[in-house]
Structure formats: C-alpha cells, structure tokens
Copies of this chain bind each other. A is one copy, B any other.
Amino acid sequence: MAITVVGSVAYDTIETPSGKRERCLGGAATYFSLSASFFTDVRVIAVVGEDFGKRQEAVFAARNIDTRGIEHVPGKSFFWAGSYLDNLNEAKTEATDLNVFAAFEPKIPAAYSGSEFLFLANIDPILQRRVREAMPNVKLVAGDTMNYWIKDHKPALLEVLKGLDILLINDTETKMLADNTNFVQAARAVLKLGPKSLVVKHGEYGATLFHHAIKPASTKMKYDTKCFKAPAFLLEQIVDPTGAGDSFAGGFFGYLASQPEQTPAAYRRAMFYGTVMGSFACERFGTERIQALTRQEIDARFNQLRELTHLD
C-alpha cells in the first residue's frame, strides 16, 4: 500500500572524517522515500527551487517514486551544511538556508489521495498537522520531529502528536518531550501524548519500540510483547551518518506499509528493516549507498541482524 511523505528535499554539503561532498541531494523526504521505495510505492510532497533539475528528478524516477507532489518554485532549494569531524554521532550544523522551504505550503495532488499510509517528516508541526487533516482517510500515520520544535513550538507539536499512530524520535528528544531524564518513564509519558507507538532511535546503539500497552509499575518495568529492541548493525566504517534516521524511518514504515496487516510481529520486523536501511545509509556519502541498493542486499543484512541478536 502506498505511502505519502511530506518533508524536505534539499541539498547538503557534508564533511566527515572520510571526506567532503558539496551540495549532494538530501533532505528527510529524499532519504525516507528512497529507503521506503524498496518496500512499497512512495509519493512525495515537497518544494524545490530552480536548482532542482532533471538529474535530481532521475534519482526519484529510478526508484519509481511519485514526484508529482514536489512543487517547483522560483529561488533556491533548502540547503544544509554540516560537519561530523568532531563527532560522527552528531552533526555540527555549519549553515541552514531555508530558501524556498521558508514559504512551503504543502499541496496534495489528487493522485495521492488514495494513500493509506502517511509519513510526516521533520518539518514545522503546523504544516504536519495541515497535511494530516487534508488526508483524513489514511490508515496509519507516522511522524518525526526534532529538538527545535519540541523546545520552541510545543503547543503546535502536541496537536500533531494527538493524530499520530507512530512517533519516531531519538533519546534526547524523548526525554526533552517528556521532561524526564529516565528513558523508560519518558517513553511512557510520550505515549500518553497521543502516539500509539513510539520508536526511539539510539544512533549507534540501535532503537527501541514501545507500544502504549506497557503496564505501569512501581520500581521495575513490566514487559509485554509490545516492547522490542533492535541493536544497530555493526559497521566497520561510518562514512556519513547523514540521513540514517530518515532511512531508518523509510525502512520501518515502508516495510509496515508493505504488509497486509500491521501486527506486533510486523512491527518487530519493521524495526529490523529500519535498522538495516539506516546502516546502509551510513556506508557512503549522502544517498549514494541507498540509491545503489538491491532488495537482495537488504534481506541479506536483515538475516545478519537476526544472527547478531538471536540466541539460536
């Protein structure tokens, strides 16, 4: 079943210990849709400037991604520059030029209206909410956000959370959103804000899935089968972590959308597919590795991840 994703399509200048790339194709919606396209049909809503041409279009076309919702307007595309020279686990932002993204008004093509899955990538929660409300018939809605929106736009974000089935954020964002430094307590508090499921990404340490069926307890966690941990894949060389989180989301949500039913077992496998796609994203600069992938490689790594984590 098809996913519609709204988010940024951008240019990134990235510096890591492995080298530097100028203005490669990036943005959350780009990573997400490329990654999800290995599992299901993907439709993008975004805005780009005059610097987005046939060569960039071809990257989406090669993966059969529907780009009719990418609006072309005068001006320059969103641009981000970041460096991982000091810390491969956290980018130091050197520049953020919103450009055409500053006046982004998501427009949903009629052809997208049948999408059963919606992903709200990390953008202004007011826009996330608008897209969510414009697609009332979707079956499952997932979304991302970041510290900036949690800190300075919390009321708008809280409205978005009420309409989410799945929220994907990182440790720091989870604790910040709940205003609680204990990870498990924070996760439970976030689930009370609306999302039925929470995926917390731990970067090099994997990710944890929480469903809201976690039972309250005094001093220790009461488990049920709806809590799941996927450690990160072991990479000998991390070339560029940019887009790893969005690629995780694409693998996770893309796999879920490909399944006839979103059972707890499907959520577990989705956590593995998310991990696999996030790990591939780090192996080369920008979207290079994701673009060149095959489903066979993805499934092979899925099996390696099972071997890495299962007792028998």
Q: How far is it, in angstroms, between the C-alpha of A236 and the C-alpha of B222 when the chains are bound?
A: 9
Contact A228 B309 (CB under 8 A): yes
Residue A225 is within 8 A (CB to CB) of chain B in the complex: yes
Point out the residues of chain B lying under 8 angstroms from A311, CB to CB.
265, 268-269, 272, 306, 310
Point out the residues of chain B lying under 8 angstroms from A221, CB to CB.
233-236
Point out the residues of chain B lying under 8 angstroms from A182, CB to CB.
236-238
Point out the residues of chain B lying under 8 angstroms from A220, CB to CB.
235-237, 283
Contact A227 B234 (CB under 8 A): yes
Point out the residues of chain B lying under 8 angstroms from A223, CB to CB.
234, 304, 307-308
Point out the residues of chain B lying under 8 angstroms from A184, CB to CB.
234-236
Within 8 A of B (CB), among A285-312: 304, 306-312
Number of copies: 2
Majority SS of interface residues in chain A? loop
Residue A204 is within 8 A (CB to CB) of chain B in the complex: yes
Residue A202 is within 8 A (CB to CB) of chain B in the complex: yes
| Interface bin, chain A | 35 or more
Interface flags, A257-269, vs B, CB<8A=1, else 0: 0000000010011
Chain B residue nearest to A227 in the complex (CB): B308
Q: How far is it, in angstroms, between the C-alpha of A220 and the C-alpha of B297 when the chains are bound?
A: 13
A-B contacts, 17 listed (Cβ < 8 Å): A182-B238, A184-B236, A202-B205, A205-B206, A205-B231, A208-B231, A217-B236, A219-B239, A221-B234, A227-B234, A229-B308, A229-B309, A231-B231, A268-B311, A269-B311, A306-B311, A310-B311
Residues of A that sit less than 8 Å from B by CB: 88, 181-185, 202, 204-206, 208, 217, 219-221, 223, 225, 227-231, 233-239, 265, 268-269, 272, 283, 304, 306-312
Listed from nearest, the 3 A-B pairs whose CB atoms lie closest are A205-B205, A229-B231, A184-B236
